[in-house]
Structure 1
Amino acid sequence: MSQNAPDYAALEAFALELSAAAASAALPLFRLRDLSEINKGNASRADVDFDPVTEADKGAERAIRALINARYPEHGIIGEEYGSENTDADYIWVLDPVDGTRAFISGLPLWTTLIGLRYQGRPVLGVIAQPVLEEVYIGSPLGSRLITPKGSTPLAVRACSGLADAVIGTTDPHLYTGAEVEAYARLRTTAKLVRYGCDAYAFAMVAAGTMDIALETGLKPWDIEAIIPVIENAGGVVTNWHGQPVGPEAGQVLAAGSQALIDEALTHLRVAAD
């Protein structure tokens, strides 16, 4: 194991390079009318399990991996499209080159590139990038901030008195199954406002203080590990539906602007926790 503390300034700068490289690969394909996709999901339940992958996903991940392998060949990588390498390393990059591919192929600018970094097994740095909007949300022990062409702005979650005043987001309520359906319905009817279809962008809005809760089920590590440092270093909390830290298998995830809001949401969700 490495005895040197992470150089977060250097790692943040490199993560921003990775984000720019991914954007260069994906943006030329956004709203391309003849862009083809492959369904990785269950074809018999396409309305729910349509899980597309495009050349934007693949090209963006190839670009990120090439830079990591050139700059930090000793680092590990876990990526949605091209698998894992060197996973016993102290530093492991966890990549979702296009989170929200459904939005991407629909021409909606709510997809993101997620770039996370584990250090000794713990997510410590994350980037949520939306290149169409020219927004990069980045978080590490140095703090969380939003970077745009206009400059850098600190991120901070907002105060929320409780679920009755909360704006919550989830990608699609039809993704919930079994006991999750009723648990989510109880949460939804308690909240002030619910928005759908934002994928990881909803979590960025929790960090930015425009939404209060984001939740999902069935997540993979690359869907959430970049998000955790952004929200936590903006003052928020990320747990599983048991109220525990999100583990390496991800799964059911809940993020909110405060522990009190997490606790209130869990009164509805914990019964369906797996």
Structure 2
Amino acid sequence: MTHRITPELSAELRGVAHSLADAARPVTLQYFRTAVAADNKGALRGMAYDPVTIADRASEQAMRDILARLRPDDAILGEEFGPKAGTTGLTWVLDPIDGTRAYIAGAPTWGVLIAVSDDQGPLFGIVDQPYIGERFAGGFGQAECAGPHGTRALQTHAPRALAEAIVMTTFPEVGTPTEGAAFQAVAARAQLVRYGMDCYAYAMLAAGQIDLVIEAGLQPYDVQGPIAVIEAAGGIVTDWQGGPAWQGGRILAAANPQIHAEALAILSTAS
């Protein structure tokens, strides 16, 4: 079955997305800045440290429980419990805690990522930071942040040269050595580079605070919520070749087409 996005359906999907974020908030806060134990998922795959906690699993389960009640025929793709098939053409893409390393370290740069997507990519997304109490939402003609300063519209930064830009990423090595070298070529030309921001970097891009987020090796649940928010705020998100990025991989998120083009010219040379 295919879907048609009517005003009534878009309003329903927005409401469900916010209900998911509302459900995840108390679960994640229950364990934040406690001595929560973490299992290493990476060890099972022979990879680097990739922690998961009871908070990750409980947060996703709380969201899945709501979807089972409100949108039972939609598909789900979640980080912790995998895919669930659906019949509507819509998929809920859930990252119950993006930035678990920050979470267990007590740093409030993690967040809950939610997107509702079709076969063309995300339609509406949320980046929620429960501890700060900020929620960034975008899609269906909406781009706004609700938080300690009230509710305000989101708008990405106006064009400026890469030499004046602020760039963020999570890991200094940014993937493979080749990918890391490409990132450093961009970073060397920027005015300011900051690391370790997880999904909060994408929120700051949508809020007009920074110009670029560059990452590699991401999964769909890492990016679909942020893509919807950033694009609704006026930004652009692609892979390092300028193609669609909602399936993950190498991500170039930019405040505007001009600085996107300047960074893309450098990153596209990475093999």
TM-score of Structure 1 vs Structure 2, range by shorter chain: over 0.9
The reply on whether 1:116 has 2:118 as its aligned counterpart is no
Equivalent position SS for 1:13: helix
Mapped to 1, the partners of 2:88 and 2:43 lie a distance apart of 34
TM-score, normalised relative to structure 1: 0.93
Q: For residues 44 and 61 of structure 1, what CA distance do their matches in structure 2 show? A: 22
What code does the residue aligned with 1:253 have? I
In 2, Cα distance between equivalents of 1:196 and 1:97: 22
Post-superposition offset of 1:43: 7.9
Amino acid at match of 2:14: E
Q: Which runs of 5+ in 1 are unaligned?
A: none
Deviations 1:198-241 (A, max 9, x none): 11110110000001101110000000001111000100000000
For residue 4 of structure 1, what is the aligned residue in structure 2? 4
Could you report, residue by residue, the CA deviation over 1:169-223 in whole angstroms, capped at 9, with x for unpaired residues? 0001224213112211111110000011111110110000001101110000000
Deviations 1:93-132 (A, max 9, x none): 0000000000000000110000011034421000000010
- Structure 1 stretches of 4+ moved >4 Å: 42-46
Query: Partner of 2:165 in structure 1?
Result: 166
Q: Is the 8 A contact 2:137 2:143 kept in 1?
A: yes
**Contact 1:43–1:50 (Cα < 8 Å) also in 2:** no
Aligned length in residues = 269
Mark the CA change 1:43 to 1:194 in structure 2 (over 3 Å): closer, same or farther: farther
Q: Is the 8 A contact 1:134 1:149 kept in 2?
A: yes
Equivalent residue number for residue 263 of structure 1: 261
8 Å contact kept, 1:8–1:142: no
CA distance in 2, matches of 1:43, 1:91: 31
Specify the alignment match of 1:37 in structure 2.
Answer: 38
Which residues in structure 2 correspond to 1:13-24 (within 5 Å)?
13-24=15-26
TM-score calculated relative to the size of structure 2: 0.94
Matches within 5 A, 1:9-158: 9-33=11-35, 35-42=36-43, 49-87=48-86, 89-148=88-147, 151-158=150-157
* Cα distance, 1:149–1:14 mapped onto 2, change above 3 Å: farther
Q: Distance in 2 between matches of 1:165 and 1:95?
A: 34
User: Which one-letter code corresponds to 1:146 in the other structure?
Assistant: C
Once the two structures are overlaid, the 10-residue window that deviates more, 235-244 or 85-94, is: 85-94
Native 8 Å contact 1:31 1:105 kept in 2: yes
Q: Residues of 2 paired with 1:64 and 1:3: CA distance?
A: 22
Residues 121 and 246 of structure 2 are in contact (CA less than 8 Å); yes or no, is this contact kept in structure 1?
no
Contact 1:78–1:87 (CA<8 Å) still a contact in 2?
no
Cα distance in 2 between the residues matched to 1:119 and 1:89:
9
Whole-angstrom distance in 1 between the partners of 2:231 and 2:264: 18
Bigger shift: 10-19 or 233-242? 10-19
* Distance in 1 between residues matched to 2:162 and 2:102, nearest whole Å: 28
Amino acid aligned to 1:71 = L
Taking only the aligned residue pairs, the percentage that are identical comes to 39
